[in-house]
Amino acid sequence: MNWLWISGLVIVLDQVTKHIADSNLDLRVPLEVIPNLNMTLCYNKGAAFSILSNAGGWQRWVLMTISLVISIALVYWLHQADKNRKYLRWGLTLVIGGAVGNLEPPDGRGAASPLGLQGLPQTPEVHIARDGPDEIGLFGVGEEIPKGKIVYPIRNSLYLNLTNRCSNRCTFCWKNASYFVKGHDLELSREPDSRELLEAIGDPKRYSEVVFCGFGEPLLRLDLVKTVAAELKKKGGKIRIDTDGQANLVYGRNILPELKGLVDSVSVSLNAENAQKYHRICRSPFGEKGFEGVLDFLREARKVIPEVTATALTMPGVDLEACRRLAEEELGVKFRPRAYDEVG
């Protein structure tokens, strides 16, 4: 009996189920199967527990090579194994099928991981911080990660976490699965005031820029943004805002002139090339008018903010070239694609 047909069957089932998940689930939006058991579509470009998932691409070839070498070794072991040791042969064929099935697909998105125990109370979570040894937690082991950070450094920038509220309900939002970003827990128990933020920031010149971003839409707290930005500019800080671009719709007026002289750059999430796709991905409360609102925001931003950039996610179904043409040729702003499976 050729035991490798079992490995082949595992590979086929693995790819079929991942294709079904990829085609029918929205990224990081939990789908309840039964109480306390959700299916959530995620992609993993690294090893187990997403180790090396943000390594930059080289890990793909290393992990593929390791998987292939191990698979070849297991096939040899299977060939040499005693024919009477059926349980060993079953185990080897299943491992071979799993190893080959988890090789990263050619598009480089990483393997789809559709099943997750996202709803269980007190279920251990895996959070690995990359920004300091005092913020590492694995299955609850190690130093406790401070909850509800209002400022957090990433590379040379300092990010401000003003609110967890948002004007969109994006399918890809990391909040659907976790409030952790680069080892920082951004789930707020309450929203900070200007005094708390300014004290936490300190000297803004220590950073290349201070970014109003966090895990929510910062312009939902427009007055706070203006107050804090004005103080930071007095201290010589460089200010950026990351926004979904729907503030004018939220307030019913053009708010961009109020930011003149306070903001050096703004990054606006365009995320799609047309209104229908934008609404499907971002689920704007304004329906398909949300997309036109983003375009108008970008047009108005050009008039008062020195540097304006439209961004779009490198997620399946988004035409990045069409987004680039829309941003650069029609709106006259910069364009930058950003990885949909990495935050920060």
Flag whether pLDDT at 169 surpasses 50. Answer: yes
pTM exceeds 0.75: no
Average pLDDT of the segment spanning 71-93:
83
Comparing 255 with 178, the larger pLDDT belongs to: 255
Phi/psi class of residue 290: alpha, beta or left (left: φ > 0; alpha: ψ in -120 to 50)?
A: alpha
Instruction: Name the more confident of 311 and 180.
Output: 311
**Residue 157, phi then psi, degrees to nearest 5:** -110, 155
List the domain boundaries for the chain. 4-116, 131-338
How would you class 31 by CB atoms within 10 Å of its CB: exposed for 0-12, middle for 13-18, buried for 19 or more? middle
The CA distance from 327 to 189, in Å, is 37
Kindly provide the b/e burial profile for residues 278-302, where b requires at least 16 CB atoms within 10 angstroms of the residue's own CB: bbebbbbebeeebbebbbbbbebbe
Which superfamily does 131-338 belong to?
Aldolase class I (3.20.20.70)
Q: From the CA atom positions of the chain, what is the Rg in Å? A: 23
Cβ 71 vs Cβ 96: under 8 Å:
yes
Tens of pLDDT, residue by residue over 256-308, are 999 999 999 999 999 999 999 999 999 999 998 999 999 999 999 999 999 99
Angle between helices 275-282 and 289-304 (to 10 degrees): 100
Q: What is the pLDDT of residue 23?
A: 74
Q: Which two tokens stand for residue 169?
A: 């309900």
